[in-house]
Amino acid sequence: MNIVIFGANGPTGRLAVEQARAEGHAVTAVTRAPESFPMKNPRVRVVGADVLDPGAVDGAVAGQDAVISVLGVPFGRSPVAVYSVGVGHIARAMAEHGVRRFVGVTSAVLFGTAAPGEGFLFRKVLEPSVVRFMGRTVYDDMRRMEEIVRATDLDWTVVRPGGLFDREGVSDYRVGTERLPGRYTARADLAHALLRQAVEDRHVRAFVDVRTTQDTPSFLDLLRKEAFSGERGRKKEPVRT
């Protein structure tokens, strides 16, 4: 299967590329910094392109069987448009080239409901503070992206993970079309879920939660890491997914 992955040089993107390559798929890894992409493999074609450039997106999408988007930016105060504008370009290119299958990433907070089983402090204070202040511009653009995707006639799936963290290997994670219990999603699990959705046509035209239940971090550990990555992101503009 021919799969193009946008945001391929981010932590989740690299895992998705590696997992797809290991399964024998032909992968086009799209990144703004191809010189820093670590993987060299005959099944992986690295393309230097900015998702905000519609011509570059069009060239990357042509000839593909499925598109995976793991675009992302760190939290910050500046307006964000990479999700909505980038995925808008992807959707138009897919329509132009007859590519039907799209799988993208937003966040579990967009379910609009509290995680089952959470206590008062997390539901009413901690998570709302992150959504309304630290991550407001990011989540606003994720909502715009979802509206764009929902309005297409593509065979789309949007995966809404919890707080992302690093963990070795794929776990026995949970998947559901409503918000699941738990706060976190390992990047390896997210990459695996994205690939399964794209290859096996699971949950077409649906929003999907992916939740890791093993070896998860504390909320404060994740918050510290996110805050630190945000400071670096304002200087270097890396993807965060």
pLDDT (tens digit per residue) in 20-67: 999 999 999 999 999 999 999 999 999 999 999 999 999 999 999 999
Please name the helix (run of DSSP H) or strand (run of DSSP E) that holds residue 164, with its range, or none: strand 163-165
Span of 109-113, 151-155, 235-239 with lowest mean pLDDT? 235-239
- Count of CA atoms in the C-beta half-sphere (13 A) of 127: 21
Question: Which of 167, 158, 165 has the alpha carbon at shortest distance from 183?
Answer: 165
- Rounded CA separation 32/7 (Å): 8
pLDDT in tens, 131-167: 788 889 999 999 999 999 999 999 999 999 999 999 9
pTM above 0.85, yes or no: yes
**Mean pLDDT taken over the chain:** 90
- Rounded CA separation 68/87 (Å): 10
- Rounded CA separation 156/206 (Å): 7
Does 222 score more than 70 pLDDT?
no
